[in-house]
Amino acid sequence: MRRSHRATVAVIASGAIALTGLIAPSAMAVETPTELLISEVVEGSGNNKAVEVFNPTASAVDLSGYSIRLYFNGAAASTLTVPLAGTVAAQDAFVLVNGAAGDTLKAFGDQITSGNWFNGDDVIALYKGDTPVDFFGQVAVDPGTEWGSGATGGADATLRRHADVCVGDTDGADAFDPATQWDGFPVDAFDGLGAHTAECGAEPPTPTAVINEFSASTAGDDVEYVELLSTPGTDLAGYRVLEIEGDATTTPAFGTVDEVVSFPSADATGRALANLANGALENGSLSLLLVTGTIPALGSDIDANDDSVIDDGLGFEVVDAIAVHDGGASDRTYGGTGLGVAYDGLSFAPGGASRIPDGTDTDATADWVRNDFDLAGIPGFPGTLAAGEAANTPGAANSLTVPPVEPPPGEAGCDLENVSISSVQGSGTASPRVGEIVLIEGAVVGDFQVGGFNGYFVQDAGDGDPATSDGVFVYAPGGAAVSAGDVVSVAGEVKEFENLTEIEAADIEICATGAALPAPTEFQLPATPAQREALEGMYVTLPQDLAILEYFEFARFGTIDVGVTRQSTPTARYLPTDPAATALAAANLAERITIDDGRSSQNPDPAIHPNGQEFTLANTFRGGDLVTDVTGVFDERFGTYAIQPTTGATYTAANPRPEVPEVGGDLVVSSFNVLNYFTTLDDPTTSADDDIARGANTAEEFERQEAKIVSALAEIDADVFGLIEIENNADSQALATLTAALNDRLGSDVYDYIETGKIGTDVITTALMYKPAEVTPVGDFQLMDQAKDPRWLDSRNRPGLTQTFEDADGGTFTVVVDHLKSKGSACTGEAEDPLQGNCNLVRTNAANALADWLATDPTGQSTVGRELIIGDLNAYDKEDPITALTAKGYTDLNLKYQGEDAYSYVFDGQQGYLDHALAGPGLVADVRGASPWNINADEPSLIDYDMSFKLPAQDALFAPDPYRSSDHDPVLVGLELTPPDTTAPTIEAVALPSFILVPNNKERTVRVYVDADDDRGEVTVELTDVSTNGKPRAKVTQIDDRTFSVTAVNGAVYRFTYTATDAAGNTETDTAFVVVGIRGLIEFL
């Protein structure tokens, strides 16, 4: 359920080149279209509505017989049909406009029509006769306000079909999400009407491109880049360079996509350059693949079977490749030319290389000359260029000599006239002076020359305009050393890098040292993007008390997010249909900001606490702790606004580690997600075992993981544990091992476990441990799986492990341990819900199936309604799966006892609970309390057991305690079970009159009064017998359950028997008598 690390994009460089031997990649095949399609939909202000139909074929199409049909408000049938008229030429578009639209829109129309037209939630269909050609929307479904949401929402917007969509959607019943095939534009955007860009029919032109130069490892902080060479002006948006891990000894191991690098169009000289952060590329064996097609995600594995061959069917094509092999015995490379140890006679692998001359491509190592490791060619570095080496020339012609130093494109000078930094920044998101050579002067307010940024921030006196920033980043790798408080004159080119306006220094002059810094500008949250942009590069302070929200990337990149208050996941507070949920999502973004650590390197050592000191086990932090007076430079890089601190913030431990929560009762049940506790080690040198091993990589890691989990379990001291994400062994080995470890910690066999063997289809499963001294399993365990209900998909959900337990007094309850499909990956046929994530329907179906199955008493122990559903349901409490269960009578115990602020998980800085405890209606009265124990979600992952990416100093940040034993918090429930009811109810029945003195053989009305009671509540009373003593002519007639007519026959005795039954089925009876005459009384006595 997590994000990938920082993306990488490129900047353009220029220089004179000659193209030599470029290769031509083949284009991907595109389905040849034969029919029209809807290419643009305008749902604008008022009656500004239009539909554009595109002809992607090679011939003109007569529109006779074609029509547009509209389906309103979820209707199953169209109620408006508009016949089309005219002809649409090949590769041309035809625009149908509502007659009530404004004149500006009607000017685009090829046909104007009347009638009530569609809104953003209606269906538009293109028909040829009665044959559907294309649908926009899903027939018989009302999406609410609009199809889709956000940028591709159907209301008050213009939507344009993707260029690679060549065939319409002929199935009006399939699910519809505009984001999959449509781009969104603002309301009343008409500029695209009448023409449509399409990549259909014939194959598009095939541009040429090669990797021309790269640098991965250099002296000092690595200067890293990748340069492509192509024909001038080539659009390279469809190309990416993938860095593929080649080392066998790292985690993740070879075959993993470690970096994805994108490029702009080739410049006038044919080059496109990606400058990369220090550490972006590996310093070992690696492959750089230039690819087109379906781009794999960061962290994905292109060699799942570890055979050193790229797997089939991944959807991308390798256009060019270059690899470095550093001599590791088990290392691997993937495609293209390989540059290994001694490939050119030197005894070590190259850190970078250049094609000499540019573009040479004979698929031989002779095409490549290693670059000087000591950075010859990079401004500011003299290097040690030797024979057989190339200069580092990013963005310039490849060369065996250091190119002559050109006169600086600008000269710094403290006595020269300069421009204001605000004129460089401008009032927009990008500088209005990109590409210009400028001269600025100001004070250094943040020095980040070390750590990977290779530069510093300069701020001048300002122009008084709050819309323009007075600070800017100076990119100066290898430049003259400066310090905060230096006043510098800087000349250089204005550029945009990762949305950050910067000046690439060509010359600097230090005008003064030790100058007082300008007072930091106060910045307050919440803030809009425009307010943040206006401070980019400036020295700022945040005087607010800000809560630490997010720390997922603290271990890897040193970043945290802070906000005005702790933030809730929108669907942890509001139903997904409530507009308040969307509003909260927007407010969360406005009320937070990232605090970086001034470094771009991965897994930095030491890690820095927000207070500016080294992060240690004695100087740690938790989510919800406060920082005040955050001070530093307002930065923007990697797509994120952030503060680069220049001093530590004031830190307050506002959320101390809690004790185990008191939940009452005499029994405790706890769920615990053990985060892939596997006894099968995950070999870090291969991904071939990823389908069987997901946990610790080494014995040492396993010991660390087990120590933390056992510490947590021992402190919780539950009578029943429901475990999630434990290895699914055939012999329950992982469960047995963990149980034994816990018993070893406790010094005796306190716990036993439910032996299930391997259950379900996943490598992880659900499990149960319990204390035999406190509870006894009753009957066999049962599994909620697809065999019980087809709505429960075994390929998506782990089995619902269900077991009834009995306490010493005979009280019973049934524990149901569940782990539903995660939000992290898509489910076939189901679009991602904008608030509830992937696979919401799969989880909701499973929840309904579970509730219906439990109503059948699956364990056969008469515990219907006495179930406790626990586990990771991968849904927040206001989402459909949970509301489905509460609608079936289950009570959300986290909400009942902890309220809306309860949480067990933090994702993207927003808290909520995925880990649930839901009690059936017959068990709720026995619950005494429930609470998560927040030992994991609030703790940074830097202190967990995993050693995969950490440096030795960070590996040492470990303690065998409960904290960060998982990423989910355990949830505890206290129970005080009601013992079985074995006491019969009381009952007394009295008839009036009970004695009839005169036996006159007449009919008399008798009323029976019954008083019944039970010590545990309701009791039912039933008339179970009416009889006489057999006297002739004795007769009784029943009028109702309590009223009768009897004949006053001398000597007759009438009996009326009633039975009382309590809720447990215990019964008691009593009989009322009516005696007639003295003879009857004598007989009765």
Are 862 and 1063 a contacting pair, CB within 8 Å? Answer: no
Q: Which residues contact 59 (CB under 8 A, 6 or more apart)?
A: 90
In angstroms, the CA 837 to CA 820 distance is: 13
- Higher model confidence: residue 32 or residue 286? 286
pLDDT surpassing 80 at residue 563? yes
pLDDT at 11: 31
Look at residue 7 and tell me whether its pLDDT is greater than 50.
no
**Domain residue extents for the chain:** 37-185, 209-370, 421-518, 529-652, 667-937, 986-1084
Distance CA(697)–CA(70), nearest Å, equals 58
> Would you state the pLDDT for residue 238?
87
* Phi and psi angles of residue 882, each rounded to the nearest 5 degrees, phi first: -75, -40
pLDDT at 16 > cutoff 60:
no
Q: What percent of the chain has pLDDT over 70?
A: 95
863 close to 884: Cβ distance less than 8 angstroms: no
Tokens standing for residue 18: 């000659």
Whether the pLDDT of residue 689 is over 70: the answer is no
SS3 state of residue 51: strand
- pLDDT score of 593: 98
Could you report the per-residue pLDDT of 761-805, keeping only the tens digit for each? 999 999 999 999 999 999 999 999 999 999 999 999 999 999 999
Both structure tokens of 919: 């009690």
925-962 pLDDT, tens digit each: 999 999 999 999 999 999 999 998 888 999 999 999 99
pLDDT score, position 8: 31
Q: What's the confidence (pLDDT) of residue 760? A: 94
Residue 17: the pLDDT is 32
Mean pLDDT computed over 981-990: 94
**Of 258 and 1061, the one with more pLDDT:** 1061
CA Rg value for the chain:
38
* Structure tokens, 666: 């005499």
The predicted model gives 852-871 an average pLDDT of: 97
Going from the C-alpha of 300 to that of each of 2, 28, 454, the distances in angstroms are 13, 22, 30
Per-residue model confidence as pLDDT tens digits over 496-507: 988 899 999 999
pLDDT at 319 over 70: yes
**Residue 445 DSSP symbol:** E
Per-residue pLDDT band at 1080 (split at 50, 70, 90): confident
> How many residues in the chain?
1085
Give the pLDDT score at 21: 37
Return d(Cα 1054, Cα 1076) in angstroms, integer: 9
How confident is residue 30, by pLDDT bands cut at 50, 70 and 90?
Answer: very low
Least confident residue range of 4-18, 327-341, 688-702, 776-790:
4-18
pLDDT tens readout for residues 655-665:
999 999 999 99
Q: Does domain 421-518 have CATH number 1.10.3720.10?
A: no
Please give the pLDDT value at position 1046. 96
pLDDT at 686: 60
pLDDT for 690 equals 58
- pLDDT of residue 29 exceeding 50, the answer is no
- Among residues 264, 201, 257, which one has the least CA distance to residue 235? 264
Cβ atoms of 512 and 482 within 8 Å: the answer is: no
Q: Tell me the DSSP string of 919-967.
A: E-TTTGGGEEEEEE--SSTTS-GGGSS--SS--HHHHT---SSSTTSSS
Q: What integer pLDDT is reported at residue 777 of this predicted model? A: 98
Tokens (6 digits) for 1073: 């008598």
Query: Among all chains, which residue has been given the structure tokens 């590069």?
Result: 537
Q: What is the pTM of this model?
A: 0.68
Q: What is the mean pLDDT of the chain?
A: 91
* In contact, 1004 and 996? CB cutoff 8 Å: yes
Work out the average pLDDT over 581-607.
94
Are the folds of 37-185 and 986-1084 the same? yes
Structure confidence by residue, pLDDT tens digits, 1020-1079: 999 999 999 999 999 999 999 999 999 999 999 999 999 999 988 999 999 999 999 988
For residue 868, the 8-state DSSP code is E
Query: How many CB atoms within 10 Å of residue 861?
Result: 17
What pLDDT score does 534 carry? Answer: 96
* 116 or 1006, greater pLDDT: 1006
Question: Taking residues 190-205, what's their average pLDDT?
Answer: 73
Inter-residue contact 37 to 126 (CB < 8 Å): yes
pLDDT of res. 27: 30
User: Coil, strand or helix: which one is 744?
Assistant: helix
Q: Which of 228-242, 480-494, 535-549 is the least confident region?
A: 228-242
Residue listed under structure tokens 């005040």: 628
Per the CB < 8 A criterion, the answer to whether 942 and 615 are in contact is yes
Quick one: the chain helix, strand, coil %, rounded to 5?
A: 10, 35, 55
Confidence bin at 23 (pLDDT 50/70/90): very low
* Confidence at residue 692, expressed as pLDDT on a 0 to 100 scale: 74
Q: What is the pLDDT of residues 355-412, one digit of tens each?
A: 998 888 888 999 999 999 999 998 878 889 888 899 999 988 998 888 765 555 689 9
At 571 the three-state DSSP class reads helix
Q: Which fold has domain 37-185?
A: Immunoglobulin-like (2.60.40)
pLDDT tops 80 at residue 14: no
Residue 287 has pLDDT above 50, yes or no: yes
298-312, 605-619, 767-781: least confident range = 298-312
CA separation for the pair 88, 95 (Å, rounded): 10
**Residues of the chain above pLDDT 90, percent:** 71
Tokens of residue 206, six digits:
């095939």
How far apart are the C-alpha atoms of 927 and 971, rounded to whole Å? 14
> pLDDT tens digits, residue range 446-475?
999 999 899 999 999 999 999 999 999 999
Residue 626, H or E segment: strand 626-637
Q: Domain 667-937 belongs to what architecture?
A: 4-Layer Sandwich (3.60)
What's 873-910 look like in SS3? CCCCCCCHHHHHHHHCCCEEHHHHHHHHHCCCEEECCE
**What CATH number is given for 986-1084 in this structure?**
2.60.40
Rounded Cα distance, 821 and 827, in Å: 9
Higher pLDDT, residue 116 or 252:
116
